[in-house]
């Protein structure tokens, strides 16, 4: 947890001011019982109205000072803790943004959301408590003991019995409760996971009439979170509170009993007994607050461990120290004996000894059955993953020897899942090129066959999109994602099954427009339909992660059994081409 306190360093001045102001409030709280004792023992006993009035005014002035100190501490600690939380959350977000796909595979999305929200909030609350409660309670406890001893050292010996009882009880209960808080955060991850899945897949839930089942899933996850939270907190409350109240009541009885004896012998006065009881109450309640603070500390410790796990995760894809800052000029891509295996995965590699060349301006289609490694292969070009063996070269330079930002700026990529963001259609297209002009946006949209439906909206390119483009159809989202890639006019374009939701006629027009708009761009197309790749300059057929064959459509019909099987499975018998097998 100490590693995270570096985020408090920029605000050390105001962070130091908070406990100083709290010290002022505690000093006032410790003075009030003594002043009340003087009113009773001097003013009331001697019927000195002037003394009572003067002392009361003094108490009122001290109260105002205490209030100023308390409010000041609250404001200062809030400012420091909020800034601490904001900086920590920002660094976590930046870290996650720098993750490779392999890094992201280690964390569930729901877990990352929990860590960046709830876990940060737990640490933030802990920092706030450190500057308030963790300052106030020890000072109040120690100050109360000093004041109680100064009133009557013999009577203060009651604390020697009461305090050890409470401390032992706190230790036993908190020791049992500490391990539960890491489980609380994991259960919260599960709740967030169920919520995220259901909100993103609400249409599927409704289509399959699974609402009741999903309600049960959430109910179970929510109940698990409730039960573990109750178990963690109620163990402290149920056990500590009765012990606390019993100890306090017995202590007060003891003070009244023995204090009465001291009053009778003249060694103490009634006002001092009242002040002593106030100090005793402050001491015992301070111990209780220390228990709750430690309980919060244990939960913050669990959250800190989870946050450090994110911050300490080593990003496995980074720029080499001598990486070239060279832009992609031609778009020639070469795979040399490339193999890839996901970290921790068993079995054979996803890709094995893949070798082929995509010349500048060529359209290269990647074809194969599900799980053949098509998407994994193209993900190696922009270094979303790094090859386990072999190398991927762009314009003759290994992608590992280029700066990642420069490499990816020269690559346009349309993923299988067309992710759009909240904002206007224009904003989403400009993701490809932030300073794109309206003419460039329209040109890219026309090439992606998106212009007509966009202008059909009342607000045209300024039409707002819901989360993930929920107000667009699957085909419309795919075309918008293609326009987003085209507007940057990349030297390398990767279309990962990005026309699966559009009809064949629209797909044909998109491919024709691509050749006209970016004729010098090297284009990789992953598709399920033969018709999508039949005109490609080169077709790479993958089978179980290996290159089964490479060639044009006509060449593969003659030499590749896998390609012929795919071709025949998609076309009617009267459309088949006679092939000598």
Q: Match 């339909």 to its residue by tokens.
A: 529
Q: Do the beta carbons of residue 42 and residue 36 sit within 8 Å?
A: no
297: its two tokens: 């500390």
The answer to whether the beta carbons of residues 379 and 439 sit under 8 Å apart is: no
Residue 276: how many CA atoms within 13 Å on its side-chain side? 30
- Residue 181 pLDDT: 67
Asked if 383 contacts 404 with a C-beta cutoff of 8 angstroms, the reply is yes
Q: Which two tokens stand for residue 39?
A: 């009113």
Which of the listed CATH numbers 3.40.140.10, 3.30.70.20, 1.20.1560.10, 3.90.400.10 matches domain 11-312? 1.20.1560.10
Q: Give 538's strand partners.
A: 364
Q: Where are the domains of the chain?
A: 11-312
Contact 447, 523 (CB under 8 A): no
Nearest C-alpha neighbor of 514 from the set 495, 501, 539: 495
What pLDDT shows up at residue 576? Answer: 45
pLDDT at 179: 67
Using CB atoms within 10 Å of the CB of residue 259, give its burial: 0 to 12 exposed, 13 to 18 middle, 19+ buried.
buried
Q: How far is it, in rounded angstroms, from Cα 78 to Cα 81? A: 5
Mean pLDDT by 10 residues, the chain (581 residues): 84 91 90 88 86 91 92 92 93 89 82 86 89 85 87 83 79 68 75 77 72 84 80 63 78 85 82 86 81 76 86 87 88 94 80 93 88 89 91 93 91 85 89 89 91 90 80 85 90 86 80 82 87 87 90 89 84 45 38
- Distance, in Å, from the CA atom of 337 to the CA atom of 380, rounded to the nearest integer, reads 13
* Cβ–Cβ under 8 Å, residues 269 and 148: no
**pTM: predicted TM-score of the whole model, two decimal places:** 0.76
């Amino acid at each position: 947890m100490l590693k995270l306190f570096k985020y408090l360093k920029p605000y050390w001045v105001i962070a130091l001011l908070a406990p100083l102001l709290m010290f002022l409030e505690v000093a006032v709280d410790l003075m009030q019982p003594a002043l009340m004792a003087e009113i009773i023992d001097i003013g009331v006993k001697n019927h000195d109205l002037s003394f009572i009035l003067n002392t009361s005014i003094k108490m009122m002035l001290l109260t105002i000072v205490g209030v100023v100190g308390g409010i000041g501490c609250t404001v200062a600690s809030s400012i420091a803790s909020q800034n601490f939380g904001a900086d920590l959350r920002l660094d976590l977000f930046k870290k996650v943004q720098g993750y490779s796909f392999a890094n992201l595979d280690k964390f569930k999305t729901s877990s990352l959301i929990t860590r960046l929200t709830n876990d940060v909030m737990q640490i933030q609350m802990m920092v706030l408590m450190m500057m308030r409660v963790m300052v106030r309670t020890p000072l109040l406890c120690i100050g109360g003991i000093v004041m109680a001893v100064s009133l009557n050292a013999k009577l203060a010996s009651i604390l020697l019995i009461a305090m050890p009882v409470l401390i032992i009880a706190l230790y036993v209960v908190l020791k049992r409760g500490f391990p539960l808080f890491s489980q609380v955060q994991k259960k919260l991850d599960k709740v967030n996971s169920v919520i995220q899945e259901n909100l993103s897949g609400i249409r599927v839930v409704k289509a399959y009439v699974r609402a009741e089942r999903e309600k049960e899933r959430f109910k179970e996850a929510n109940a698990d979170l409730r039960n573990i939270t109750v178990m963690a907190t109620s163990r402290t409350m149920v056990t500590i509170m009765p012990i606390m109240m019993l100890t306090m009541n017995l202590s007060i009885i003891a003070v009244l009993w023995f204090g009465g004896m001291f009053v009778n012998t003249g060694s103490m006065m009634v006002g001092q007994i009242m002040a002593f009881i106030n100090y005793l109450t402050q001491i015992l309640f301070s111990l209780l607050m220390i228990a709750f603070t430690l309980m919060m500390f244990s939960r913050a410790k669990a959250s800190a461990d989870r946050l450090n796990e994110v911050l300490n995760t080593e990003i496995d894809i980074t720029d080499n120290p001598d990486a070239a800052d060279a832009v992609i000029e031609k778009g020639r891509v070469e795979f040399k004996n490339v193999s890839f295996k996901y970290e921790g995965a068993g079995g054979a590699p996803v890709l094995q000894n893949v070798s082929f060349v995509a010349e500048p301006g060529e359209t290269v289609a990647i074809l194969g059955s599900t799980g053949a490694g098509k998407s994994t292969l193209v993900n190696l070009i922009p270094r979303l993953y790094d090859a386990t063996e072999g190398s991927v070269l762009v314009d003759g330079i290994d992608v590992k020897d280029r700066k990642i930002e420069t490499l990816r700026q020269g690559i346009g990529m349309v993923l299988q899942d067309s992710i759009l963001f909240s904002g206007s259609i224009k904003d989403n297209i400009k993701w490809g090129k932030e300073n794109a002009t309206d003419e460039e946006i329209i040109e890219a949209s026309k090439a992606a066959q998106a212009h007509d439906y966009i202008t059909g909206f009342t607000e045209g390119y300024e039409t707002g999109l819901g989360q993930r483009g929920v107000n667009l159809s699957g085909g419309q989202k795919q075309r918008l994602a293609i326009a987003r890639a085209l507007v940057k006019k990349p030297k390398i374009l990767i279309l990962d099954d990005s026309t699966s939701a559009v009809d064949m006629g629209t797909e044909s027009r998109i491919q024709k427009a691509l050749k006209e708009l970016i004729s010098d761009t090297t284009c990789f197309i992953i598709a399920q339909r033969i018709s999508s790749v039949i005109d490609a300059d080169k077709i790479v057929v993958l089978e179980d992660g290996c290159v089964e064959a490479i060639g044009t459509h006509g060449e593969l019909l003659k030499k590749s059994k896998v390609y012929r099987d795919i071709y025949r499975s998609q076309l009617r018998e009267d459309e088949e081409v006679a092939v000598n097998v």
